[in-house]
Structure 1
């Protein structure tokens, strides 16, 4: 899992000093080596440059090439070596900081974020299998499957260019004929070109995508929302009932495979989290 939404560094002077000392002692990688790794990881995917920089940094962190507490190359070094504008680098680093991958310290530098002593385990599962394992019957209703032109927001989450063709599907899943999930999914056609040809009445998008692009990394963002009228009607909910929204982004070999918005009726779904200690 990605190191999101964790506050691991103290803002005190002693805390900053400790961080610098640990970084200098624990990481021998030079700025030049780190930038060279980043250049190799960027590739030439048709995506906004800042997004390519972000994904390259994320891949370096996820693969362990950039270690926790390691100092990130300076903006000046990244601008010079990557041949991009300072504004582009600043945006990439700023967003990675807000997402929890990096920690920026004024006058000190930018560092790879360090996780706390536990990991939240929110696993990716096949909803059909989950329902079957409870001894219940799964069914679904496919409301739409089509090819669309990616708007800027859709392009960003898939790591593609605005206007590029992407796939979209909208499916409602039922447990014993009661709606329990609305799956609103975007798919990268470069990774799953035959997505729209599948019969999702007989298999789930999860099953198909795991076959063609096995999951190597994933991200979940969970929030409570009030559904709009169409969503409430599709999920057969009361007017005052809230929903649990899980936004899920998954990767395979450093390429974004899919971005899904999974909407659950608040009274019919519980979120289970498991934690593993690290001593």
Structure 2
């Protein structure tokens, strides 16, 4: 059964593209943004038709697409509800580095070491699997724990997906936390590798070159659109990642 009711007034069209896709995006954004949590009743087709001035075929097409994307569950007799996230999502924990440091009882600070906005360079495109034509914000950030290097973060933000990033200096909030607050993501890819620190990175982390490190690589998408890709390099001997989680995330 549905655990909540929706407000038709929440469904706001942006005026861009076909009407069915505007409806799909409006409902998708309410779901991914948390306004319509799992179990919430989705307004029936006739109510959406009346509210949005759309035909039954247009509304039906939008809802069918949302069901294909796994965002809603359509049931003939009980109606349509926001779908529960797949169990595999519980393994994809998007970490806040400041929160990670604070949980260890230490003080977090950070420094933006470099930034470049525009087309990806050949080196950055190869490292992150980008097209050379991709417009990105490329940042290298060093995070500190009680004043000591904690993790080296290298990140690209796709400006086509998150144009507001181009106007941010990230002076008050680090890039990763800013994205958690200001962008939507629906899929993530997460990989952890053991690597030896190369000289430039080792110098930044104040460790000897060749020191074993943990490399966490993560990419996120909003539907088919890439949002960000990040490489997090942690000195291996000083870090151990432990998580306890339930079907909807960390507990």
Structure 2 unaligned segments of length 5 or more: list them. 1-64, 72-85
SS in 1 for 2:241: coil
- In structure 2, relative to structure 1, the CA distance for the partners of 1:195 and 1:122 (3 Å cut) is same
SS in 1 for 2:117: strand
Match of 1:227 in 2: 197
Instruction: Assess, with a 3 A threshold, how the Cα gap between structure 1 residues 159 and 231 changes in structure 2: closer, same or farther.
Output: closer
TM-score, normalised to structure 2's length?
A: 0.57
In structure 2, distance between residues paired with 1:273 and 1:133 = 12
Structure 1 residue 242, shift from structure 2 partner: 0.7
Distance 1:118 1:160 in 2: 26
CA distance in 2, matches of 1:253, 1:118: 17
- Structure 2 distance, partners of 1:138, 1:63, is 38
- Partner-residue secondary structure (3-state), 1:232: helix
1:7-156 to structure 2, matched below 5 A, reads: 63-64=69-70, 121-150=91-120
Q: CA 1:246–1:188 in structure 2 vs 1: closer, same or farther (change >3 Å)?
A: same
Query: What secondary structure does 1:220 align onto?
Result: strand
C-alpha contact 1:119 1:275 (8 A) present in aligned 2: no
Superposed displacement of residue 163, structure 1: 2.5
CA distance in 1: counterparts of 2:202 and 2:134, whole angstroms: 31
Offset of residue 205 of structure 1: 1.0
| Cα distance in 2 for residues equivalent to 1:219 and 1:157 | 15
Please point out which of 182, 189, 199 is paired with 1:212. Answer: 182
* 1:154 CA displacement: 5.4
The change in CA–CA distance for 1:195 and 1:147 in structure 2 (over 3 A counts) is same
Q: Residues 243 and 266 of structure 1 are in contact (CA less than 8 Å); yes or no, is this contact kept in structure 2? A: yes
Instruction: Tell me by how many angstroms 1:155 deviates.
Output: 5.4
Correspondent of 2:223 among 253, 256, 265: 253
2:153–2:231: 8 Å Cα contact kept in structure 1? Answer: yes
Q: Distance in 2 between matches of 1:188 and 1:242?
A: 30
Deviation at 1:239, TM superposition (A): 3.6
1:15-40 CA distance string (max 9 Å, x none): xxxxxxxxxxxxxxxxxxxxxxxxxx
CA shift for structure 1 position 64: 4.4
Deviation at 1:144, TM superposition (A): 0.8
Partner of 2:48: none
Q: Deviations along 1:238-264, whole A, 9 cap, x unmatched?
A: 344211000100112331100001100
Root-mean-square deviation (Å): 3.4
Partners of 1:158 and 1:258 within 8 A in 2:
no
Distance 1:133 1:273, change over 3 A: closer
Distance 1:142 1:224 in 2: 25
Name structure 1 gaps, 5 residues minimum.
1-58, 66-114
1:180-191 alignment, distance < 5 Å: 180-191=150-161
Per the alignment, in what secondary structure is the counterpart of residue 125 of structure 1? coil
Structure number with higher relative contact order (C-alpha < 8 Å, ≥ 6 residues apart)? 1
